[in-house]
Amino acid sequence: MSVTLFNIEGKIALITGSTHGLGMAMARGLGLAGATIIVNGNSSQEKIDIAVSKYQKEGIDAKGYKFNVTNEQEVITAIAKIEVEVGSIDILINNAGIIKRTPLMDMEVADFKEVIDIDLVSPFIVSKHVVKGMISRKQGKIINICSMMSELGRNSVGAYAAAKGGLKMLTQNMATEWAKYNIQINGIGPGYFATIQTEPIRIDGHPFNDFIINRTPAGKWGDPNDLAGAAIFLSAKASDFVNGHILYVDGGILATIGKPSNED
């Protein structure tokens, strides 16, 4: 029974922003579990092709599509093309996002809006058009990549926190409206992970590295592959009665107020 519950073989999964980082880790997990992966990015076709090649070298069935997730017409065109060339989208992971680390007093309105547009508006746009096919088939899985900033604030990331807090509520409202069609809409809230982006601060003695190690009950940074299990669970039959939930994969950070720096 457990194999059936977590079986996603033959499913088609669109993961936005999946050419690198956590998006690639989740897409890789789904691909190794048997799903066909639709790789999305917007920076360059070359970057998408390189990512697709990496997936394929691991035996993953991967296709690449370049489109801007904040441009509704591009999204509509891309989804139609995917459905013709690959098939109906069974799983959508809204992962594309950016962060701008600027104190709110110093942040330009245009920069604030850009973060909101990519991190909050784009999941609405992509989901709105993917869910139409899911509704007609009476099944589907949508996963929005939220954040611990969906729950907490932090200096200099006000726009990001506003977007991710909004994404949590958008996830719950999607579930409110679409669960009746046998569609499950949930979120994943990653904690702090060891990626290329965090490499410069993951050094013993670096203040932020020490803060994360001490703040996380698990006592370490997350491995991007740790997200694969959560993504598979929320993509599979095992989560058929889970809806509007945010699954935090954070090593326990949100479970505790932390510990004094002198405590073992």
Catalytic residue annotation: 160
Q: Is 34 in contact with 232 (CB distance < 8 Å)?
A: no
Question: Where are any strands of DSSP class E within 29-149?
Answer: 36-41, 62-66, 91-94, 140-145
Could you tell me the two tokens for 253? 């950070």
**C-alpha dist (Å) from residue 108 to 44, 98, 100, 198:** 27, 15, 11, 25
Q: Is 146 in contact with 164 (CB distance < 8 Å)?
A: yes
Question: Which residues, in sequence order, are CB contacts of 244 under 8 Å at separation 6+?
Answer: 171, 172, 174, 175, 176, 179, 185, 186
**C-alpha dist (Å) from residue 42 to 5, 35, 64, 74, 147:** 34, 22, 11, 11, 22
CA 244 remoteness from chain centre: 15
Helix (H) or strand (E) holding 209, with range, is helix 207-215
Strands 12-15 and 36-41: parallel
